[in-house]
């Protein structure tokens, strides 16, 4: 596959997505549609190849175990980590909760977040008892790292930022964020849900400490995701959930546990989810994340230019956002925009996008959001503009 020429070449992969025929799907930031290669991998794993993993002594179980662990290796390679540092989770939400509940605070009680975080990078820290400090945004919708540097202190155990905002598409200078965190002895966790499908990620180069992402935004299945953590940090964390697969030896008097990552994977894992994630990683890497980023960046520019021509449109976020364009139309609730666009076979997200504190700071109750993917092209933007013209006619 090759989408080195932005926009037009997306047609080369569009027909690999059976769910989008006749439909302009612009909600990939919520969940990505699945290419046929991923669907086939899931069907085969649940069909001719299915068996449980890790404990079976028969051939098919051994084969499925090999496939499951190959998925771990592919996940590690995707972000530049080691296999022993990848914990499979249900998604980024569970991964962040795991760190919030089990990262050793070392006497520190605060976490440094930003004003644009998803609820899944706010609520887990509250539940875990952290005090939250909030870094403001720049005028252009970026996390203000100058402010973060001033605010970071030795009271902070964790700095936790979105690598890419799910509302604004703004891209964090992750290396500098790591320097700021480490400068006060804190650890950096990155929410990579929107970054991993759109950007090359190398946790070693970034020098972060934890990285979380979900498979379903990366063209893979729901219910599977990953936490990458530095080996020394994972080794220092006690188990989070108990059950089979994470134990060394169990007696009624005492239980001992396996090392990470098994220690954090209690119970039968989402075997087929991991295999589907592996297929999605292979599919994405065959295109190339650099090419995907260039493709989506071109679409963002084209979309923002087209929306500016519509009277009453307000655009949010930076010009160079990663695959995401959030907007509002004067006098029209985003839910009405989304409903009318649906009648025109255009799917956008409308609401607070699980970022209510950000909506408050933007001065709106909600936005409409168009988000792009490998299969997106100019026809999707043209359909969006036609749909918004209809919205304006209806609302006068």
The distance from CA 167 to its chain's CA centroid, rounded to whole angstroms, is 12
Which structure tokens are listed for 342?
A: 């649906």
Any catalytic annotation for residue 354? Answer: yes
Q: Which of 193, 208, 303, 354 is catalytic?
A: 354
- In angstroms, the Cα distances linking 22 to 14, 60, 295, 346 are 11, 40, 21, 10
DSSP string covering 98-145, please? HHHHHS--TT--EEEEETT--GGGTHHHHHTT-EEEEE-B-TTS-B-H
Q: Give the whole-angstrom CA distance, residue 42 versus residue 301.
A: 35
CA-wise closest residue to 337 among 309, 314, 361: 314
CB atoms within 10 A of CB 246: 21
Torsion of the alpha carbons at 216, 217, 218 and 223, rounded to the nearest 10:
-20
Q: How far is CA 160 from CA 76, 90, 208, 256, 286, in A?
A: 21, 19, 10, 31, 31
- Counting every residue, how long is the chain? 396
Q: Are 169 and 349 contacting, i.e. CB atoms less than 8 angstroms apart?
A: no
Which DSSP symbol is given to 348?
A: -
Residues annotated as part of the active site: 354
């Amino acid at each position: 596959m090759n989408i080195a020429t932005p926009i037009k070449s997306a047609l080369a992969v569009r027909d690999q997505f059976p769910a989008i025929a006749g439909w302009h799907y612009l909600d990939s930031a919520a969940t990505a549609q699945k290419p046929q290669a991923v669907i086939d991998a899931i069907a085969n794993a649940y069909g001719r190849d299915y068996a449980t993993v890790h404990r079976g002594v028969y051939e098919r179980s051994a084969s499925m175990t090999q496939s499951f662990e190959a998925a771990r290796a592919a996940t590690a390679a995707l972000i530049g980590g080691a296999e022993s540092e990848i914990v499979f989770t249900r998604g980024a939400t569970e991964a962040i909760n795991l760190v919030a509940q089990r990262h050793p605070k070392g006497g520190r009680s605060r976490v440094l977040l930003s004003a644009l975080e998803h609820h899944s990078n706010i609520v887990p820290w509250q539940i875990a008892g952290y005090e939250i400090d909030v870094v403001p945004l720049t005028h252009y919708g970026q996390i203000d790292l100058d402010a973060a540097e001033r605010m970071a202190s030795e009271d902070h155990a964790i700095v936790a930022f979105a690598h890419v905002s799910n509302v604004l598409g703004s891209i964090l200078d992750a290396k500098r964020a790591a320097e700021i965190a480490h400068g006060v002895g804190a650890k950096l966790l990155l929410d990579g849900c929107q970054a991993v499908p759109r950007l090359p990620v190398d946790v070693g180069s970034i020098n972060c400490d934890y990285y979380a992402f979900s498979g379903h935004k990366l063209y893979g299945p729901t219910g599977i995701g990953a936490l990458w953590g530095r080996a020394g940090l994972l080794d220092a964390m006690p188990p989070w959930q108990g059950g089979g697969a994470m134990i060394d030896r169990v007696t009624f008097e005492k239980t001992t546990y396996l090392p990470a990552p098994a220690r954090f994977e209690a119970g039968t894992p989402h075997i087929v989810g991991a295999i589907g994630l592996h297929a999605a990683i292979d599919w994405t890497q065959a295109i190339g994340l650099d090419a995907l980023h260039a493709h989506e960046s071109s679409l963002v520019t084209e979309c923002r230019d087209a929306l500016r021509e519509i009277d009453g449109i307000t655009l949010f976020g930076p010009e160079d956002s990663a695959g995401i364009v959030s907007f509002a139309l004067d006098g029209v609730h985003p839910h009405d925009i989304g409903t009318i666009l649906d009648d025109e076979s255009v799917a956008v997200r409308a609401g607070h996008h699980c970022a209510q504190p950000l909506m408050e700071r933007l001065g709106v109750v909600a936005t409409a959001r168009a988000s792009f993917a490998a299969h997106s092209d100019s026809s999707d933007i043209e359909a969006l503009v036609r749909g918004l013209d209809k919205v304006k006619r209806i609302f006068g």
